[in-house]
């Protein structure tokens, strides 16, 4: 999964590619509900802040990566029963943007960092590179990551309506057997807002100086920081395939690509904008499930291929 900031950026990049009428329709609400694009990543954050609940949630993480098509069908069915609102639709759209950005970028990131499912070193490197990519995205916009104020992208202050919570709870339970996802989402929203304001809001660098020893003790020298970015946006360049060398898909060695991170990102933005515009139209027209399924491909956010497939590396980085 790309980091928090990269997902936040992609959310607005998708919006910019919507048809003009759709941009106008969701203009204010789109920013207000930007937290929706954090998708299933909120489970990881939630577990970090609720360590005692880790055992109950860890088995659900593998499930929540898959069955995205079924989730869409179940969610829209419930939405039609309870009544369609902008907030209800925007939760679904934000969740889809997260899922399909992961699906597009993960194969390259996994290829570059190793098998994150079976290698603890690869897991650490994967998280590190994602933190680096957040810094890279800022640098591309001319912003110094080391002075960036994370408070600017904190989650929403607005609580979900009871109707949207019912939709989230019902659809995630029927799709994944994951109970109370709406509660988890609400807790994440509140906790992460406090987290960013308490630890990441540091315009004068005071917290950075005071908490750096704790940061190293918790995460080590080479893992993501709880404090403002320690990277300048150039550290991840060796993992983004900017020189366009060939690389192999992690679960299908017959798929060889030379696309870079930037190319995959732009491709994902265009595809997601088109998908969500079509889905919005289908919802408004009360389209049948078959049409919904034709719009939303059933691919895993882990590797971008058919859901339910597992992957096993039989190569090292750079070896085809």
- pLDDT for 67 beyond 50: yes
Predicted local distance difference test score (pLDDT) of residue 170 = 96
**Closest to 30 measured CA to CA, from 70, 84, 86:** 86
In the Cβ-directed half-sphere of 236, how many Cα atoms lie within 13 Å? 32
Predicted local distance difference test score (pLDDT) of residue 122 = 65
More confident residue, 147 or 288: 288
Q: For 77-137, give the DSSP string.
A: HHHHHH---HHHHHHHHHHHHHHHHHHHHHHHHHHHH--TTT-HHHHHHHHHHHHHHHHHH
pLDDT tens digit sequence for 114-162: 765 555 666 677 778 888 899 999 999 998 887 777 766 767 778 899 9
Predicted local distance difference test score (pLDDT) of residue 293 = 96
pLDDT tens digit sequence for 191-213: 777 766 666 666 666 766 666 67
More confident residue, 314 or 158: 158
**Closest to 146 measured CA to CA, from 84, 227, 206, 243:** 227
- Of the ranges 85-99, 196-210, 250-264, 278-292, which one carries the lowest mean pLDDT score? 196-210
- Binning pLDDT at 50, 70 and 90, where does residue 214 land? low
More confident residue, 122 or 320: 122
Predicted local distance difference test score (pLDDT) of residue 144 = 86
**Closest to 96 measured CA to CA, from 79, 78, 71, 77:** 71
Yes or no: say if 262 and 166 are a contact pair by the CB < 8 Å rule.
no
Predicted local distance difference test score (pLDDT) of residue 2 = 60
- pLDDT for 313 beyond 50: no
Question: What is the rounded CA–CA span in Å between residue 49 and residue 188?
Answer: 9
Which residues lie closer than 8 Å to 314 by C-beta, 6 or more apart?
253
Yes or no: say if 87 and 32 are a contact pair by the CB < 8 Å rule.
no
- Binning pLDDT at 50, 70 and 90, where does residue 63 land? confident
- pLDDT for 314 beyond 50: no
Yes or no: say if 101 and 76 are a contact pair by the CB < 8 Å rule.
no
Yes or no: say if 182 and 168 are a contact pair by the CB < 8 Å rule.
yes
Is 0.85 topped by the overall pTM?
Answer: yes
- pLDDT for 320 beyond 60: no
**Closest to 311 measured CA to CA, from 124, 43, 114:** 114
């Amino acid at each position: 999964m790309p980091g928090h900031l990269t997902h936040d950026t992609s959310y607005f990049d998708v919006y910019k590619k919507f048809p003009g009428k759709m941009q106008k329709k969701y203009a204010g609400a789109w920013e207000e509900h930007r937290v929706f694009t954090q998708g299933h990543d909120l489970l990881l954050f939630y577990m970090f802040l609720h360590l005692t609940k880790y055992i109950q949630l860890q088995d659900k993480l593998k499930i929540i990566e898959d069955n995205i098509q079924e989730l869409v069908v179940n969610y829209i069915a419930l939405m039609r029963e309870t009544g369609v609102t902008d907030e209800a639709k925007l939760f679904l759209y934000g969740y889809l943007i997260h899922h399909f950005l992961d699906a597009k970028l993960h194969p390259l990131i996994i290829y570059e960092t190793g098998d994150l499912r079976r290698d603890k070193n690869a897991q650490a490197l994967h998280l590190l590179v994602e933190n680096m990519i957040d810094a890279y995205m800022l640098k591309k916009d001319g912003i110094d990551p080391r002075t960036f104020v994370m408070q600017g992208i904190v989650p929403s202050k607005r609580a979900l309506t009871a109707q949207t919570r019912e939709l989230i709870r019902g659809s995630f339970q029927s799709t994944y057997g994951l109970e109370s996802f709406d509660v988890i989402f609400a807790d994440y929203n509140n906790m992460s807002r406090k987290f960013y304001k308490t630890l990441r809001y540091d315009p004068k660098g005071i917290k950075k100086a005071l908490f750096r020893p704790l940061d190293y003790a918790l995460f080590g020298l080479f893992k993501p920081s709880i404090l403002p970015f320690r990277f300048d946006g150039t550290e991840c360049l060796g993992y983004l395939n900017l020189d366009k060398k060939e690389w192999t898909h992690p679960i299908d060695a017959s798929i060889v690509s030379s696309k870079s991170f930037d190319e995959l990102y732009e491709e994902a933005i265009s595809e997601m904008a088109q998908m969500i515009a079509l889905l919005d139209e289908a919802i408004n027209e009360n389209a049948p499930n078959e049409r919904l399924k034709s719009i939303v491909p059933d691919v895993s956010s882990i590797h971008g291929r058919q859901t339910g497939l597992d992957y096993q590396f039989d190569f090292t980085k750079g070896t085809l």
